[in-house]
Amino acid sequence: MFMKKLLIVLVFMYTAISCNSAGGNGYKIEGVLKNTAKEKVLLEKMGLLKMTVIDTAVSNDRGEFILDGVADEKGFYRIRLESNPQIFWIMLLDNKNSYKADLNPMSPIEAKISGSKEQDEFYSFMNNIQKKQQELNALNNKQMGFAQSGMQDSLAVTVNQLNKNADDLKASIANTAKSGDNIFLSLFALMSLGIDQFPDIHDALIARFAKELPKSSYTTELTSIKAQIAEQQKAQQSKEIASQSTAVGAQAPEIDLPTPAGKNIKLSSLRGKYVLIDFWASWCGPCRRENPSVVAAYNKYKSKGFTVYSVSLDKTKDAWVKAIEADGLTWENHVSDLQFWNSVAAAAYGVQGIPAQFLLDKEGKIIARDLRGEALDAKLAEVLK
């Protein structure tokens, strides 16, 4: 996975760069598109969370174009073709340099963008990474050949070498991300590894940007990404906890929510009966189509100790009540906090989509999940003999 992701980054982010510094209060890019004429070219600011077009130009009959203006800040920018958004070239741009860009749309990796000393460092880094990636690709091809020919000893040696080289490359990039002198090179290295994979380096880079470039949008975005990752991890942990607590055989988590009349009904108050917890909503088409099966099961087995505990993910009481009446959901156990997908009950049960159902035994243990139509009838017939 690391090799695949790194290769993608290298193909689209590789730029060959040499130094040609020129002072000024704005940028100027004099470019040539090989074998391409009358092409609209866009210059985009590459944020970590979004792209923003800041300049455009149209190449002449010889493929020549000029982009000039004042950038909001120093950072990663990319030149791309409007006709094919998949073709672009990344550069480290600021308002102190003029740039020359020789670009080949037929072979995006063949690029030469000259302009600053920092880009020389960027080029050296990328050149080194590309060479090591080519070595990994060669080893990977050897591995496939040995595997197909059944040469197990050679295959084992190649696999070990491939893994070692991949680990060494990853460590080298991580070291640049952690301690590179060029803060933007460190950021690029972290991006190529995956920001979420190295939280310690991410934190260190946030602190470094806050100190060196406190007003940079990258400082804000790195901090925002950290918060997003934390939120995603929290959600994943909650999902895993919910998955464990709602597995078949687990004691069903308590639910204590109000009915349309405002009176709370606890799930545990139904102990002694087989209970189908049914997560649904008036706005959910599949739920409404499933309701007749639930109604049929309720009418058939209610006299044998079966009931339904319906948890609605509705947003308004009126829509909820109308759907109950329209679908003939005659049982009393209808509850909701009217919080849509923010329902506390849905979170507790790890519900990601509805309808979602959990069948409980008389002790409140989960004995089946997501039974539909005949499957629900068959299970109830089995347990309510």
CA geometry: angle at 293 spanning 287 and 295, to 5°? 95
Mean pLDDT in order along the chain per 10 residues (385 residues): 46 37 71 93 94 96 95 93 91 90 86 82 77 84 79 77 83 85 90 89 94 94 94 81 84 96 96 97 95 96 96 97 97 96 93 95 96 92 91
* pLDDT at residue 331, as a whole number: 97
Contacts 24+ apart (CB under 8 A), 227-234: 229/195, 229/196, 229/199, 229/202
* pLDDT at residue 14, as a whole number: 40
* pLDDT at residue 24, as a whole number: 52
Q: Which of 163, 27, 153 is nearest to 96 (CA)?
A: 27
Helix/strand/coil for 139: helix
- CA distances (Å), origin 300, targets 304, 305, 360, 361, 380: 8, 11, 17, 17, 10
**Maximum CA pair distance of the chain?**
88
| Cβ partners under 8 Å of residue 243, min gap 6 | 350
Task: Give 309's strand partners.
Answer: 277
- Tell me the pTM: 0.60
| Cβ partners under 8 Å of residue 123, min gap 6 | 15, 16, 17, 18
What's the rounded Cα separation, in Å, for the pair 278 and 257? 14
- CA distances (Å), origin 309, targets 46, 326, 362: 50, 18, 14
